[in-house]
Amino acid sequence: MAKAIIPLATGFEEMETLTVVDILRRAEIDVVLAGLLPGPVVGAHNVSVIPDTTIDAVNSGAFDMIILPGGQPGTDNLNADQRIHKLLKKFASKEKLIGAICAAPIILAAAGLLKGKRATCYPSYRDQLKEGIYKEAPVVSDGTIITSQGPGTAIHFGLAIVAHMADHDTSDRVSKSMLVKEISAEIWNPSLFNSTIQALLSALEAQDNYTEGQARRVSEYCLSIGSKLKLPLIEMRDLYLGAMLHDIGKYSTAEDVLNKPDSLNLSEETLTREHTLKGTLFVVGISNLSHIAPTILHHHEHWDGSGYPSRLKGENIPLHARIVSVADAYNAITSNRSYRDGLGKEAALRELVKNKDTQFDPFIVDVFIECLNDSPFETKDFSYYF
């Protein structure tokens, strides 16, 4: 059975703590509350809780995740305790899951765990995330770190943790049993997709025959990877959007360049590469899409720093862009083009493996190969959007 520990300090936010405990236990995940000192712990709103144990009595090796509640002065009390920092670093060194909500992500920042990581927190604490990359979202997951904004997002946070510690099916089951229907309705809002994606992709597909169906195939591959990584539903939505619109900047590239049967000259290559910038400009002014601009801008960056437009390297490339890069390359290799026939699955996979550590994130390539070996991969059916 998966097991999580939640440290408790005086002044903890009760809603963020007890909501998460309730959701995890509904999912049959073992949760242990550990006080900094023996005896009851009083929360920020004068609710007294008797922890299961104390931090000093905890064997960190027995746990799969550590979760920090927010609240004040609870967050400051946790942050001032070096035992918490020691635990966090131990969990990070073992690549175990780490969660924090409300003000608590600043503790992760203070422990040096957010460098280059996407995270969220209570808005007034965003400047204290230091080297973390603040995202305006109820729940943000980056690798083994899951963060959330506050009491009102505690249910989202708990369900995201369940998805990581168990699976999406368990998270969905718990969500339905609690009648949390509005989450999915908000995340997969058909008007969001129908009002943007259809119009944008129709314009592109009318110009380049190759792109017909290409965006959907890439998005399906991306969602299979996201599912394997157990990304929260909101991140799955954003990954879907980024994958669907990653090549939208090609709308203004000349048709004869897009469909040229032989190699591009330097001028044509430059024009083609501009599609990442043009696509970014296309979405930055749209409130529901501007947050996916990094995926569109950076999906041609290379793991070794040789890509474009910014020559980003390694994990400095946004996670969603790294996923799209692999999925897009596989789709391109296996598709027929005006200048060559597509390769089969095995040959395409050999190309991906060959370019691990240079063009592609090696971990994402390995995950994608696992996805393709499934039956055929886990994803949602978005056909009703098209």
Residues acting as catalytic residues: 102
Query: Max Cα separation, the chain?
Result: 75
* Degrees to nearest 5, angle at CA 320 with 319 and 325: 100
Placement of tokens 């900047």 in the chain: 249
Backbone region of residue 302 per phi and psi (left: phi > 0; alpha: psi in -120 to 50; beta: other values)? beta
Report the DSSP beta bridge partners of residue 5. 32, 66
- Please report the beta strands in 135-255, taking only residues with DSSP state E, as ranges in sequence order: 139-142, 145-148
Closest CA to 153 of 221, 100, 211: 100
Cα distance from N-terminal residue to C-terminal residue, the chain: 41
Residue 353 identity (one-letter amino acid): V
Spatial CA neighbour of 219 closest among 196, 243, 193: 243
Enumerate residues 6+ apart whose C-beta is below 8 A from 169: none
Determine the Cα–Cα distance for residues 214 and 280; give it in Å rounded to an integer.
19
Place of tokens 């979202």: 137
Q: Is 150 helix (H, G, I), strand (E, B) or coil?
A: coil
